[in-house]
Structure 1
Amino acid sequence: MTDPFRLLAALAAALALSACSTLPSEPPPLATAPAAASPDAAAVATATPARPAAAPVAPATPAAADPPAEAIDPLRPDRPVDLEAPGARTDLWQRVRNGFAVPDLDDELVTRHERWYASRPDYVRRMTERGGRYLFHIVEEVDRRGLPMELALLPFIESAFNPQALSSARASGIWQFMPATGRDFDLRQNLFRDDRRDVLASTRAALDYLTRLFNMFGDWHLALAAYNWGEGNVQRAIRRNEAAGLPTDYLSLRMPAETRNYVPKLQAVKNIVANPAAFGLALQPLENHPFFLAVPIERDIDVALVVELAGITAEEFHQLNPQLNKPVILAAGTPQVLLPYDNAGAFVRRLAAHRGPLASWTAWTVPRTVRPAEAAKLAGVSEAQLVQINRIPAGMLVKAGSTLLVPRSAQRTADVPPQVADNAVIALTPERPPLRRVVYRARANDTVASVARRFGQSAANVARWNDVSTKARFAPGATVIVYVPQTATAAAPRRQAASAGTTRSAAKAAPPPRAAKAPARRPTR
């Protein structure tokens, strides 16, 4: 394990200083719905296993003279964090203003969005307070790349800086990456983590993507439109205007309403940041230093233990590490966690003094397709606990090769290997094939038993579907509801019913789930 005492020298000065205060987690984002925070928190509360017995972890030998490289600003690991540096106490908002470089957009939509924000000061306050956790690190990365500082404000538009935001089109995180585009930019999405919600990883990916779009279009307004709408759509809109002899700037293109409002909305936020008093608003001061530090994780460790040792709440932990899906952090997939500046030192000191195992959970790969009850027996855990912590719906089988979260045991003490930590998935399949609803007209002398035989179902099921007893007789012409396997063709039940002499039959399938109509926004992101 990394020597935790090496961190203390670097953190000693920081612990005596007051970093940014804890910020509230509201409000709902502008165009997204918040996903459930800390995904398995409820399950952990009721299903945390007892920690297995293990040899005490010996504290490492102090090496206070060594350079404290482990406690770092994760975006500038080569530069020590110094809260006494001349620029640390300057206004971060002024640094943002000084970096504005995108040409201003001035039209009626900008004014409309300015009025919208100005009429909601509480919303602006909550949004900017939440953004204060992450803004310094985004500003650092934008500045390092030499990009316009307007890009640091884009999460205000995308998600209101809510890292748990999830759109109806399944875009996630403060930068609102779609699953496929996230994978294109190396944002892993598996059982244990979703890097689209990782503040640092998604910021890197978003700025990579925006840089690529600017190089493609040579114009920041068009690059931003492509980030929202998709580069292919913007290219086609440009070609249409070129073919019609029309200008191809942002304001001249035909685009969906959301994209039409996208850059004006960002311009409105930019104008408010530039001069909040002009809109009757005030921005909470933000100091020009990190809100959080990165602390290395070299062994699998429970989230609950990190929270306990750091002296923070689970909510505070997930605000900085929202990518984690499970109650255990796998060192092979998550080599560092972010902790508030004031709590990183406490975590390091208490970790050094901790005795006993660090993780009570581990990953187990299912060897064959099994029912949850059988999987629980193989894993040595109760079925209720296995189903709850892995969110397995009723009536489902766990397919071979799936990864399940299970309690550690004497037989499972090793940390989860990288291949599992990076690629773990759970695949489920219905225990029985889906059923198709059939409406059947009873003929003379039809009983529950005879109808059940005719359709290859049990009498108990036919009785339950029709709210009658298993010995009931149907009146001629009565409507009888039967369910047959969905895998059967639609014509099969009709032929089967017709051969029985029905007067009318129909295979009425339950309508398939309607495909969610994805909004016009970001078809690739």
Structure 2
Amino acid sequence: MNTRPDISKISTSPVSSALTGTSSSEPASFVYTNQEADLWERIRAGYAIPDLNNKQVDNQLTWYSTRTDYILRTVQRGSRYLYHVVEELEKRGMPTELALLPFIESAFNPQAISTAKASGMWQFMAATGKDFNLKQSMFKDDRRGILDSTDAALNYLERLYGIFGDWQLALAAYNWGEGSVQRAIKKQQAQGLPIDFDSMSGLMPQETRNYFPKLQAVKNIIAHPEQFNISLPALENQPYFVTVEKTRDIDVRVAAQLAELSMEEFTALNPQFNRPVITGDSNTKILLPADNANLYKENLSKWQGPLSSWATYTVPRTEKVESLSQKLGQKPEFIREVNLIPAKMLVKAGSTILIPKSSKTPDQDISPEIAEKAQIIIEKGVATRQLNHKVSKQDNLNSIARRYHVTVADLKGWNNLKRDNLNPGQTLHIQVPVLAKSRHTAVAAHQKTPAHNFHARPAKTLAVNTRGGKKRHG
């Protein structure tokens, strides 16, 4: 274990207001009695995991050292988060090279999602995240939050080290699962073989076999970048951000505007928010650079407009987005985009969707209960084909809806109708289930006039992107 440097902290006065306040848990300036030149030196001083030297490490060194642009992009992205991670590691007496682990997991991209649906800088699966109190709701996914995911990852790594007493094996378990490593240890012991990482690597899948060698390679490059013709940018040995506590709902756009940050920079520090509004109470925190936190306070005190422009709507029955949008006075594409609903999907009864506030919507915050428990449940719609119906003098929306066993809202949504009146000769587009083809064809064949033209359109199959999956670290 490394010894934490002798540090004395001088915290700045906290930012506060009637609505928000900044926490001094990440003070804006530090003075070190044992001051390193920059954060890299502090990380190097805390290296404590025994080095590994083998062919896999050599291969990974070759890969990383020949991709200087990739390394520098990753370092630039991680420069926002490294100080916080190092601080947390030192508080726990953990090796500081673990601060480089997100280099391997996500290239320091807190919005990274793997093919197995692991998410965030530390790549937690949904089930593992819940095991470590990372809340995942419609409005927020703590697996992506910098503070919460880092705390959960270090808790998990500490637990694994407690089980195996070896950081290399603990890291193998972080990637492969503790049960898998334990079974490999029992197999080695049964044969009287060593149980260190290098000796057991032959029992591991290739990803795990290369996992610690990747960290070792990055660790070596950070330790001696000059040996690889890499010039690392200097990283100041002080916090990049402070925490701001919020007590009212606020739009992400408004928060970024008040802090005078681009949406890209604001989202990089606050990637856990899934929707365009940040809900919650004083336990919900926003991360901002220290100077911008002061700007946020100043601008907020002068702000005259609404902080949040969003409300929620509970879907009373399972229906298409087109019919929902007609009721809500919004375009279907807008409802889908804001609520991340794929095309051709039905929204099930009881789902909560986000809608803009209007004169009919109370100007109040989304309740904490809704913010925590709200969910959107979607299901694949029935395969349909399109019919074109030419309106006759006797037709109205109700009669046409009854004829084709659809709803008036569906008809209006499919045809972008703003009123109920129809004009004779007008063509309506109607989606009917494929299974009903023969029945509707029969209806058409018995019409007295050839006013109804049927044009079948093949149903499209849509893949649904879900965020579930098996437990990654188990």
After TM superposition, is the score higher than 0.5? Answer: yes
Match of 1:416 among 342, 366, 369: 366
The 5-angstrom pairing of residues 107-122 of structure 1 reads 107-122=54-69
Give the alignment's TM-score, normalised by structure 2: 0.76
Percent same amino acid among aligned pairs?
A: 47
CA distance in 2, matches of 1:330, 1:190: 11
Match of 1:458 among 440, 461, 470: 440
The 5-angstrom pairing of residues 55-134 of structure 1 reads 70-73=21-24, 76=25, 80-83=27-30, 90-134=37-81
Structure 2: gaps spanning 5 or more residues: 1-10, 386-433, 446-451
Q: Does 1:217 align with 2:164?
A: yes
SS at 1:168's partner residue? coil
Shift, 1:383, TM fit: 4.2
The 5-angstrom pairing of residues 334-353 of structure 1 reads 335-353=284-302
Equivalent in the alignment of 2:216: 267
The 5-angstrom pairing of residues 498-509 of structure 1 reads none
Give the RMSD, CA atoms, in angstroms.
3.7
Please say which of residues 121-130 and 303-312 is displaced more in the overlay. Answer: 121-130
Q: Which amino acid aligns with 1:159?
A: S
Q: Does 1:386 align with 2:335?
A: yes
Match of 2:136 among 189, 196, 215: 189
Q: Does 1:401 align with 2:350?
A: yes
Shift, 1:204, TM fit: 0.5
SS at 2:23's partner residue? coil
**Any conservation in 1 of the 2:248–2:365 contact (CA below 8 Å)?**
yes
Q: 1:314-373 CA deviation, whole Å, 9 max, x = no partner?
A: 101111111111111102496111112221111110001101210001222223333334
Shift, 1:378, TM fit: 4.8
Shift, 1:115, TM fit: 2.1
The 5-angstrom pairing of residues 142-221 of structure 1 reads 142-221=89-168
Residues 454/369 of structure 1: CA separation in 2 closer, same or farther (3 Å cut): closer
Match of 2:245 among 283, 296, 300: 296
CA distance in 2, matches of 1:406, 1:334: 24
Shift, 1:457, TM fit: 4.9
**Any conservation in 2 of the 1:300–1:331 contact (CA below 8 Å)?**
yes
Q: Which has the higher contact order (CA 8 A, sep 6+)?
A: 1
Shift, 1:231, TM fit: 0.9
SS at 1:458's partner residue? helix
Q: 1:469-523 CA deviation, whole Å, 9 max, x = no partner?
A: x999xxxxxxxx999xxxxxxxxxxxxxxxxxxxxxxxxxx9999x99x99xx83
The 5-angstrom pairing of residues 253-264 of structure 1 reads 253=200, 254-264=203-213
How many residue pairs were aligned? 404
Shift, 1:286, TM fit: 0.9
Residues 71/230 of structure 1: CA separation in 2 closer, same or farther (3 Å cut): same
Residues 384/433 of structure 1: CA separation in 2 closer, same or farther (3 Å cut): closer
Shift, 1:426, TM fit: 0.3
Residues 359/99 of structure 1: CA separation in 2 closer, same or farther (3 Å cut): same
**Any conservation in 1 of the 2:118–2:472 contact (CA below 8 Å)?**
no
Shift, 1:222, TM fit: 0.7
CA distance in 1, matches of 2:462, 2:252: 42
Q: Which amino acid aligns with 1:294?
A: T
Please say which of residues 140-149 and 105-114 is displaced more in the overlay. Answer: 105-114
Shift, 1:248, TM fit: 1.6
Equivalent in the alignment of 1:282: 231
